Structure 1
Amino acid sequence: MAAVDDLVVTHDEQAHRWEGRLEGRVVALADYVPQDGAIAMVHTEVAPEHEHEGLATKVVEAALADVRARGLKVVPACSFVRLHLRRHAEEHADIL
């Protein structure tokens, strides 16, 4: 089985989501809605066979890094993203 280190995260701007792929297959994603100067992260999902492997965290961290690189703010509309940001508030305070 592929490990979380093998997850490749890409940004699909047309679909408004970041996708995590293992062996070419989407196994995790984070959907968003673009806003003026911000990205509202509205949904995260992991394939049932890959739950509890840390894949959602890796996709969300990649998404947050991308939001920061674009000079935008994040609106944590998804409960998983809200919890993640609460746990890592200091390192992401600049994009909240």
Structure 2
Amino acid sequence: MDIQHDEAKKKFRVEVDGYTAYVAYDIHDGGLDIRHTIVPEEIGGRGIASALVKTAYDYAACHGLKPIATCSYAVTWLKRHPEYEGDISSDYGGDGTCAL
């Protein structure tokens, strides 16, 4: 999977079968906060979301940033990967929404 980092747009993205999947993030308070994980239904179920989130959090680790999750997928991912020692954002609503 050829995941690209677009720093200007704060996204990690990949194109699969003509569809683009991505995670969008913000950097604040010493952390990289995944705000949205988007994978079109047509390419779902292939582990793309997990690969994107992992790539973003590996980037965070390499740059001394704490993994933070606002997006419900990223929250679930961090719970499954405690070795990343991530935090759930105060913006996370707990019901799959953001409290923005």
How far did residue 26 of structure 1 move?
5.2
Separation in 2 of the partners of 1:66 and 1:46? 20
Percent of aligned pairs with the same residue? 28
SS across alignment from 1:8: coil
8 Å Cα contact 1:28/1:45 also seen in 2: yes
- In structure 1, stretches of 5+ residues that fail to align are 1-6
SS of residue in 2 equivalent to 1:30: strand
Structure 2 counterpart of 1:56: 49
Aligned to 2:13: 19
Question: Which has a greater percent of helix?
Answer: 1
- TM-superposed CA distance for 1:66, in Å, is 0.5
Root mean square deviation of aligned Cα: 1.6
TM-score normalised to the size of structure 2?
0.78
Give the structure, 1 or 2, with the largest relative contact order (CA under 8 Å, sep 6 or more): 1
CA positional deviation for 1:38: 1.2
Deviation at 1:59, TM superposition (A): 0.6
Structure 2 portions without partners, runs of 5+: 88-100
